[in-house]
Amino acid sequence: MTRVPRVTVGVPVHDGERYLPAALAALQAQDFEDFAVVVADNASTDGTAEIARQVAGADPRFTYVRHPRNVGGARNANWLLARARSPLFAWAYHDDVREPTWLRRSVEVLDAAGQDAVCAVPRVVLVDDDGREVGEHDDGDLDLASGPAHRRLATVLRRMVGQVQFGVIRTATLRDVGGVTVSTAGEMVLPAALALRGRLELVPERGLLGIRQHAERHGGDRATEAAWVDPARPRTVFPYSRSTALLLRAVAAAPLDAAERARCVATVLGRWTLPRWRTIVGDVVRLPRDAGLVGSAR
């Protein structure tokens, strides 16, 4: 019988040959031993397969799987989650890097915090193409572990703590909230849903996660976000303003009493929807183009 590791690290990748070697080397260098890595190749057309197969052939902790077609980044990430058997899970994207202590310290923080803690959140630095630090997140004072659910939710939304999804997370909780939302409006849904389920513990060491800033990174505009989420649907109407509905759905699904649920609804509307009213206006203005009724501007 195959032994189940303590942590599964899922690496979703599509055409990642430029940065994948550094990402996999960073995982191999972890000073925590009880983990396994699964690389899920989203039908890459470059050298991704050769790179991943070489690492998997040399290191028994690594497994390589290739999809016959590109199912989209969100579905690929959820495919990895669905197949994890370990009690803890983390995604490691192909263009990000991690310090050798990332996994050990994350597990230690979760163990010390107890079962009410659902995620160990890494602090983030920003790195360039060559791995040189070029910035950081203002995350040293984040408190996502104290207070009721609506306070944790307010912090996640007000400070846009998207790095929660890059932490080490309890697998059962992650499955319970549905994994990555398959929507261009879904970036903050998973962090918010986890905050509604339990404490998010910040791993105090600075820069355990390096998020690479590069021209090919998805996000920041409609086209690359839509292509990453679902390449079969390059256009999505109301891509950003629908985030309110997704966040309210997460609140409705969370195990909260009526009073706390009402406070969480008010938090979504007050901390997210109202401050971003221009997003709704922008989606309305761009509706004809997003619906394909007019051509894209050059």
The two tokens of residue 54 are: 């070489």
Give pLDDT tens digits for 97-149: 999 999 999 999 999 999 999 999 999 999 998 888 899 898 999 999 999 99
Give pLDDT tens digits for 155-213: 999 999 999 999 999 999 999 999 998 887 788 999 999 999 999 999 999 989 999 98
Beta bridge partner(s), residue 170: 88
Residue 115, judged by CB atoms within 10 A of its CB (0-12, 13-18, 19+), counts as: exposed
State the chain's mean pLDDT as an integer. Answer: 90
Of 72-86, 152-166, 208-222, least confident by mean pLDDT is 208-222
User: Which amino acid would we find at residue 184?
Assistant: T
> Is the model's pLDDT at 249 over the cut of 90?
yes
Tell me the domain boundaries of the chain.
Answer: 7-212
Angle in degrees, CA 117, 156, 118, rounded to 5: 15
**Res 276: pLDDT:** 80
Question: 111 near 157, Cβ under 8 Å?
Answer: no
Q: How confident is the model at residue 275 (pLDDT cuts 50, 70, 90)?
A: confident
**Res 229: pLDDT:** 76
* Higher-confidence position of 13 and 185: 13
Alpha carbon of 58 to those of 63, 145, 196: distances in Å? 10, 40, 41
Give pLDDT tens digits for 16-47: 999 999 999 999 999 999 999 999 999 999 99
**Res 10: pLDDT:** 98
Alpha carbon of 107 to those of 102, 114, 168, 197: distances in Å? 9, 11, 7, 18
Question: 41 near 65, Cβ under 8 Å?
Answer: yes
- What is the topology classification, in CATH, of domain 7-212? Spore Coat Polysaccharide Biosynthesis Protein SpsA; Chain A (3.90.550)
Task: List, in order, residues 6 or more apart from 220 with CB less than 8 Å away.
Answer: none
